Structure 1
């Protein structure tokens, strides 16, 4: 699905303990469950495209319908509503907010109830409804949204069709910096100069993030991990500070061939989300190839050589 929540609730949450090792107080999780249940009850099924072929015993969405819309298991929806799901991830919260058609204020409230506060110690991962509306208007272009550490939060169908479906990648590996410095290889192809400039720009952007969120432990852990790469250590030692704004890459697509794209990064005010929009490079056939990819999605036009019958 778009946005990256998978179908297994168990992969999205973990037991949350305080410094003394005691299980976190469940009052907040009960508040979260009550809120989710109230929002589910108020939502008209027809508003999300569900037909009512038979009378419903209760108003609103059924739990199983919410689970499908959010891309999580029904068992996990039940645990959330019963206050038994410890610290749902930001990605799950965003998926629930979109499925429930929450307002910006309600979405922010949902994030706070789940323990995702915006402060110097936490990098914001809340995608406002206004940004979703902009993304809907740009659906003809591959588009992705990252937090300030370049962790992928959301993508559209055309992004998945062009670059490969991120939902096939574990959540912890959906980070542009990790992909660039750890691999595995992606579909993107650069000239040596373009690759050097791209890596330099990403590292400089990450350096700027460290001063905005000096207490973010996940950010510190990311840097420690990246420092395993000699190339990252070389660039990090230079102390460059900048924001990543634009670039160029050729996508080597297995079905339609090379797709020549420019990228522009829009940074949201306050939350420092990165909205990356890919546009066809002028003078190339990239537009027609993107139109074809929009039609076929992530499916393959023909079997791969190792999948063909002998």
Structure 2
């Protein structure tokens, strides 16, 4: 029948979703720009893929992407369940079912923006989704972290930061705790392609992770006191509390100082 239009291609959907993005990069302040939406470079950075590969996907020149790649693109574009399913089908994949929540509710977005303390939002499998300017002031610009470096467990198991550390007497328990928490997510979301890809990659990259994965007890991680060696403010000790977002498996990490301490004064100076 004349005038019928076929199903949208993967490239068409990617360009459309990218052009309709109306948010600034996490932890930054929106600024005026010549065109709406995310630039290719920004989407590639958020999803952990190369710009060249994203161009190939948008132009229909790349082979069918893997499920973890499509999941990462959906997360970076902040797609809801329906839009993510559409993107999966266009890539020749079954829509993700029982997947980890990676859509941040509007109310949580507002809290992240307005809280004066450093705060970030993570998925159940510890992908960093949002953070506020106070988080950037304390820990550096997380937008510079590419690919899996934006995942807490991957970062800790492959490239620990000398800038953030826990008490040496608690370090073993902390590392077991984050791996045990990831095991909870893996048990609750056995069909999540991005989570399965992360666990497989960790087993192949980090002998420490493989050992802890087999030994650690699956349990929720509730947070721990952290020491931050800030290049400008000096040493700061903060409580790192993990708060569960009601109604979903997202969690917020909030760093707060004990009131009336030098740590509180140093943090206030950084975030003012």
TM-score (norm 1): 0.63
How do residues 241-260 of structure 1 correspond to structure 2 at under 5 angstroms? 241-260=218-237
**What is the SS of the residue equivalent to 2:180?**
helix
> CA offsets, 1:287-310, max 9 Å, x none?
222222224xxxxxxxxxxxxxxx
Answer whether contact 2:88 2:96 (CA < 8 A) is retained.
no
1:143 offset after TM fit, Å? 1.0
Deviations 1:45-104 (A, max 9, x none): xxx886xxxxxxxxxxx9714347x9569xx9xx99xx858858134312xx7xxxxxxx
Given the alignment, which residue of 134, 142, 148 partners 2:111? Answer: 134
Q: CA deviation at 1:208?
A: 0.8
Partner secondary structure for residue 214 of structure 1: coil
Cα distance, 1:214 vs. partner? Answer: 0.8
Which residue in 1 is equivalent to 2:267? 290
Distance 1:212 1:254, change over 3 A: same
**Partner SS, residue 185 of structure 1:** coil
Which residue number corresponds to residue 26 of structure 2?
Answer: none
Q: Give per-residue Cα distances to partners, 1:210-247, cap 9 Å, x unaligned.
A: 11111223322322332343432332222501111121
More off after superposition, 210-219 vs 31-40: 31-40
Give how far 1:193 is off.
Answer: 2.1
Q: SS of the counterpart of 1:66?
A: coil
Q: Where does residue 147 of structure 2 map in the other structure?
A: 171
User: Is the 2:229–2:236 Cα contact (8 Å) retained in structure 1?
Assistant: yes
**Alignment match, 2:47:** none
| Structure 2 CA distance for aligned equivalents of residues 118 and 136 of structure 1 | 30
Relative distance call for 1:288 and 1:270 in structure 2 (3 A) is same
Task: Describe the SS at the equivalent of 1:272.
Answer: coil
Q: Out of 286-295 and 257-266, give the one that drifted further.
A: 286-295
Alignment correspondent of 1:64 = 35
Q: Are 2:157 and 2:206, in contact at CA under 8 Å, matched by a contact in 1?
A: yes
For residues 63 and 257 of structure 1, the distance between their equivalents in structure 2, rounded to whole angstroms, comes to 39
| Structure whose CA Rg is larger | 1
Which residue of 1 is the match for residue 3 of structure 2?
none
1:1-310 matches, cutoff 5 A: 26-27=8-9, 30=12, 64-67=35-38, 89-94=73-78, 107-115=80-88, 119-120=97-98, 122-138=99-115, 140-227=116-203, 228-282=205-259, 284-295=261-272
User: What is the CA-CA distance between 1:113 and the residue it aligns to?
Assistant: 3.8
> Hey, what does 2:92 align to over in structure 1?
none
1:147–1:272 contact (8 Å) kept in structure 2: yes
Deviations 1:123-160 (A, max 9, x none): 2211111211222331x111111112111112111111
| Number of aligned positions between the proteins | 233
Note closer, same or farther for the CA distance 1:226–1:35 as it changes in structure 2 (3 Å cut).
Answer: closer
Q: Distance in 2 between matches of 1:224 and 1:37?
A: 33
TM-score for both structures, normalised by structure 2: 0.71
Assess, with a 3 A threshold, how the Cα gap between structure 1 residues 134 and 225 changes in structure 2: closer, same or farther: same
